[in-house]
């Protein structure tokens, strides 16, 4: 299964000739020449973590399809020693692996605890039992001269599936909020594939989709490669169907194709149908920044059509692209959710659009209604007003600093207290 099947072909995409028309836009008289970038709000992601209970929390688990994308080798077999596996079948092997041994050593294999957690009802709680079977399927990577299970941890591995009586068991990674440095592991019935047959079906599909992806990466013509990569962004056109293993990788690759990526993304947005998820395409245009200026009109059109794109993502993209001529079409979203209002305010600051100041001020929530979850959005709006030179910024800042939910941001808000205040 390591080679490419003769029956497989790269999806056929017709190449199209297209040209870009230059977009010339004037800045209005109220536009400041300097542009301020919207600062990342990620700084405030940890806010509120102190209120989390000291408990365990399940982390995301990679699917067999996703593991196929990274594994150097995939085997089925039986554990016959502490770290020895008798290989029944090499489902995938690296091209440089000349001999496929029937017995391999996998260091630290013995660390994987084999107590299965069987979740019951809330009243009965969970039960545990010891796994008796030694049958397994491993997703392996080559570490120097030794094989290693992918994502091997202290007591479990996300790259291993145990099989007993035809049923599959995988490790869940559990993050502990009790001060433990490393996550724990729990062995449970696989949520991806209940049976061995389902597991092998997913692996075969994963390997097939990996070969398609590798062929896409090997395309030398940037225009053709942009067409193929963009096909991954929509479920109905994606070579991997409902899976999103490679869709997540497209965002890192398309910006490198520059104007070819912009051209294809514009076509994707214009031909989108009801139900298509377009946010990923918008995020890539955001990553492209000013180079994506030709797509500005398409983003605004979708933004104004309710439910087509995430408003916050689309407005952030427009701010990063920097086409100030769309400022007036973004302003109505200052009546949206507080999150979207904050994004709009940041966009106006990046545009230097001073006419937006009274509208941003009006969009600020009443200080008496502010909750802890509102804090970083309010900070973003005050920051935008400060960058725009709004004279009332110090007064608004003082009002919000009286709110308990905002006081932990005192050090960040303090710079906004300086300046003129008309009232």
Closest CA to 312 of 353, 350, 283, 351: 283
pLDDT at residue 418, as a whole number: 79
| H runs (alpha helix) in 52-191 | 64-68
Residue 420: pLDDT above 70?
Answer: no
Span 191-229, pLDDT tens digits? 999 999 999 999 999 999 999 999 999 999 999 999 999
Integer Cα distance of 294 and 23 in angstroms: 7
| Among 32-36, 186-190, 295-299, the least confident range | 32-36
The residue that leads in pLDDT, 43 or 336, is 336
Residue 118: per-residue pLDDT: 79
% of the chain residues with pLDDT over 90: 68
Cβ pair 206, 65 in contact under 8 A: yes
Predicted confidence at residue 266, as pLDDT, reads 98
pLDDT at 124 over 70: no
46-60 tens-digit pLDDT: 333 333 333 444 556
Q: Give the pLDDT score at 139.
A: 97
121 or 33, higher pLDDT: 121
Inter-residue long-range contacts of 37-43, CB under 8 Å, 24+ positions, other chains counted = 37/320, 37/350, 38/316, 38/319, 38/320, 38/343, 38/346, 38/347, 38/349, 38/350, 38/380, 39/346, 39/380, 39/383, 41/342, 41/376, 41/377, 41/380, 43/376
pLDDT tier at 355, thresholds 50, 70, 90 = very high
Mean pLDDT, the chain, integer: 84
d(CA 53, CA 76): 40
Q: How many CA atoms lie within 13 A of 233 on its CB side?
A: 29
Average pLDDT (111-120) is 83
- Relative orientation angle of helices 338-351 and 311-321, to the nearest 10 degrees: 10
Tens of pLDDT along 307-352?
899 999 999 999 999 999 999 999 999 999 999 999 999 999 999 9
E strand residue ranges, 165-289: 167-176, 184-189
Q: What is the DSSP letter of 85?
A: E
Give the per-residue pLDDT at 151: 87
Helix (H, G, I), strand (E, B) or coil at 202: helix
Average pLDDT over residues 388-394: 95
Spell out the residues 6+ positions from residue 360 whose beta carbon is closer than 8 angstroms to its own: 334, 341, 344, 345, 348, 381, 384, 385, 388, 390
Q: Containing H/E element for 138?
A: strand 135-143
Report pLDDT for 143. Answer: 84
The whole-angstrom separation of Cα 317 and Cα 202 is: 36
pLDDT tens figures, 239-264: 999 999 999 899 999 999 999 999 99
Please check the confidence at residue 306 and state whether its pLDDT lies above 90.
no
The predicted model gives 5-18 an average pLDDT of: 36
How far is CA 422 from its chain centroid? 44
- Residue that the structure tokens 């399927």 belong to: 137
pLDDT above 60 (res 130): yes
**What is the pTM assigned to this prediction?**
0.77
More confident residue, 95 or 73: 73
Domain boundaries, the chain: 29-54+328-423, 59-202, 219-322
pLDDT at residue number 316 = 97
**SS3 call for 176:** strand
Encoding tokens for residue 82?
């502490």
Q: Are the C-beta atoms of 150 and 71 separated by less than 8 Å? A: yes
Q: What percent of the chain has pLDDT over 70?
A: 80
Question: Mean of the pLDDT values across residues 393-402?
Answer: 94
Q: What is the pLDDT of residue 59?
A: 58
Query: Phi/psi at 344 (nearest 5 deg)?
Result: -60, -45
Which among 385, 389, 384, 394 is positioned nearest to 416, based on CA atoms? 394
pLDDT band at 178 (very low <50, low <70, confident <90, very high): low
Task: Write down the pLDDT at residue 317.
Answer: 98
pLDDT at 43: 34
Other C-beta atoms closer than 10 Å to the C-beta of 55 total 10
Higher pLDDT, 177 or 266: 266
Tokens for 133, please give them.
């079977």
Tokens of 163: 């099989």
Angle at 250 between CA 248 and CA 254, to 5 degrees: 150
d(C-alpha 9, C-alpha 231), whole Å: 15
Q: How many C-beta atoms surround the C-beta of residue 340 within 10 A? A: 20
How many Å apart are CA 202 and CA 207, to the nearest integer? 9
Residue entry with tokens 């709000």: 41
When pLDDT is cut at 50, 70 and 90, the band that residue 173 belongs to is: confident
Q: Give the pLDDT of residue 153.
A: 85
Q: What span, in angstroms and rounded, lies between the C-alpha atoms of 82 and 106?
A: 9
pLDDT, residue 358, reads 97
pLDDT of residue 13: 36
């Amino acid at each position: 299964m390591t080679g490419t099947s003769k029956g497989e072909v790269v999806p056929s995409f017709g190449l199209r000739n297209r040209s870009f028309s230059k977009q010339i836009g004037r800045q209005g008289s109220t536009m400041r020449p300097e542009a301020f970038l919207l600062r990342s709000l990620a700084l405030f992601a940890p806010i509120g973590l102190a209120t989390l209970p000291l408990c365990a929390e399940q982390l995301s688990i990679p699917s067999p399809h996703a593991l196929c994308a990274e594994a150097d080798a995939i085997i089925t077999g039986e554990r016959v020693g502490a770290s020895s596996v008798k290989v029944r079948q090499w489902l995938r092997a690296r091209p440089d692996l000349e001999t496929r041994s029937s017995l391999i050593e996998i260091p630290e294999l013995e660390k994987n605890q084999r107590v299965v957690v069987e979740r019951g009802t809330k009243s009965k709680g969970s039960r545990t039992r010891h796994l008796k079977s030694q049958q397994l399927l491993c997703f392996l990577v080559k570490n120097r001269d030794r094989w290693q299970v992918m994502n091997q941890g202290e007591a479990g591995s996300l790259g291993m599936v145990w099989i007993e009586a035809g049923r599959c068991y995988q490790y869940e990674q559990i993050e502990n909020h009790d001060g433990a440095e490393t996550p724990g592991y729990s062995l449970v019935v696989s949520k991806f594939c209940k049976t061995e047959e389902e597991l092998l079906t997913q692996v075969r599909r994963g390997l097939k989709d990996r070969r398609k992806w590798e062929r896409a990466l090997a395309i030398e013509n940037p225009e053709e490669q942009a067409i193929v990569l963009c096909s991954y962004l929509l479920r109905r056109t994606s070579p991997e169907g409902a899976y999103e293993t490679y869709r997540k990788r497209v965002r890192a690759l398309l910006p490198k194709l520059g104007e070819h990526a912009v051209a294809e993304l514009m076509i994707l947005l214009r031909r989108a149908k009801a139900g298509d998820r377009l946010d990923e395409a918008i995020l890539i245009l955001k990553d492209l920044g000013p180079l994506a200026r030709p797509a500005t009109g398409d983003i605004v059109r979708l933004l104004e059509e309710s439910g087509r794109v995430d408003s916050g993502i689309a407005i952030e993209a427009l701010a990063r692209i920097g086409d100030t001529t769309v400022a007036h079409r973004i302003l109505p979203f200052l009546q949206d959710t507080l999150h979207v209002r904050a994004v709009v305010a940041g966009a106006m600051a990046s545009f230097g659009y001073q006419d937006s100041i009274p509208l941003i001020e009006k969009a600020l929530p009443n200080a008496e209604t502010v909750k802890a979850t509102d804090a970083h959005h309010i900070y973003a709006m005050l920051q935008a007003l400060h960058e725009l030179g709004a004279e009332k910024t110090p007064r608004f800042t003082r009002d919000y600093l009286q709110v308990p939910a905002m006081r932990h941001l005192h050090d960040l808000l303090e710079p906004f207290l300086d300046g003129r205040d008309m009232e």
